């Protein structure tokens, strides 16, 4: 098995869920192949950054220089994982992937992209439209839209700034540290407002799938009349494939 490096801490709840999902997924993999207890899991190292610090270091869209501090924190964390002997890395957060082109500079080990894993899963559903929900960085950027376009899927036009701010506030208020009692209804209300029939809704913040605890490990699922894509689960599946079969 290959050793997985997990860059976490943004936020801690999704980091816990990545570790759980990888461990349980590996257990199922080996159980199906006749292994007995304790079931093997891939070796892993977690390097956790501080979200309060990285949030303060976010730059301005279109201004590469303004992201230098943000990029440096994540690059250093990836180098720490590389030095710990990890064969490849995953970042347990959507937002930093918008900066992956810069963060990975100087890092030799492969980094699995959540954009690639998500686009492939979304394409397999046959959907032609997508609504991308996430942090303000994710919703203001075009990385998901660009990668989906390669699969023939049209993403939503950028939502107005007040709508993006509403989603960011929802993430900070209702999802940090786990989903609150009001998280699911607020998220569904937002989806009902912005998703037309047949749209694949990308829960492109690693905390958002916490609103659907029965589907945390499902890359694709349906709930409340909507088709949802869980990028975190798609990312975990790609990591398991690389660690166990790659």
**Distance of alpha carbon 131 from alpha carbon 119, whole angstroms:** 12
Give the model's pLDDT for residue 75. 98
54-97 pLDDT, tens digit each: 989 999 888 999 999 999 999 999 999 999 999 999 999 988 99
Give the model's pLDDT for residue 14. 83
Q: Is 157 helix (H, G, I), strand (E, B) or coil?
A: coil
Residues in the chain: 246
Is the model's pLDDT at 207 over the cut of 90? no
Q: Which of 94, 110, 75, 118 lies closest to 2, judged by CA? A: 110
């Amino acid at each position: 098995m290959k050793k997985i490096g997990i860059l976490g801490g943004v936020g801690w709840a999704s980091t816990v869920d990545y570790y759980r999902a990888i461990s349980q997924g590996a257990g199922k993999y080996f159980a199906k192949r006749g292994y007995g207890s304790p079931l093997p899991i891939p070796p892993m190292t977690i390097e956790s950054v501080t979200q309060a610090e990285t949030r303060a270091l976010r730059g301005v869209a279109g201004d590469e220089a303004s992201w230098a501090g943000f990029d440096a924190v994540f690059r250093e964390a990836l180098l720490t994982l590389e030095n710990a002997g990890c064969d490849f890395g995953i970042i347990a957060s959507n937002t930093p992937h918008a900066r992956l082109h810069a963060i990975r500079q100087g890092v030799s080990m492969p980094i699995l992209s959540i954009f690639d894993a998500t686009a492939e899963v979304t394409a397999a559903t046959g959907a032609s439209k997508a609504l991308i929900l996430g942090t303000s960085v994710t919703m203001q950027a075009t990385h998901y839209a660009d990668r989906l376009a390669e699969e023939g899927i049209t993403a939503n036009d950028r939502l107005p700034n007040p709508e993006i701010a509403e989603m960011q506030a929802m993430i900070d208020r209702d999802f940090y540290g786990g989903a609150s009692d009001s998280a699911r209804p607020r998220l569904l209300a937002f989806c009902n407002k912005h998703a037309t029939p047949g749209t694949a809704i990308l829960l492109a913040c690693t905390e958002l799938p916490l609103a659907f605890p029965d589907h945390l490990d499902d890359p694709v699922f349906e709930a409340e009349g909507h088709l949802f894509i869980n990028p975190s689960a798609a990312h975990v599946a790609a990591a398991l494939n690389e660690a166990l079969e790659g």
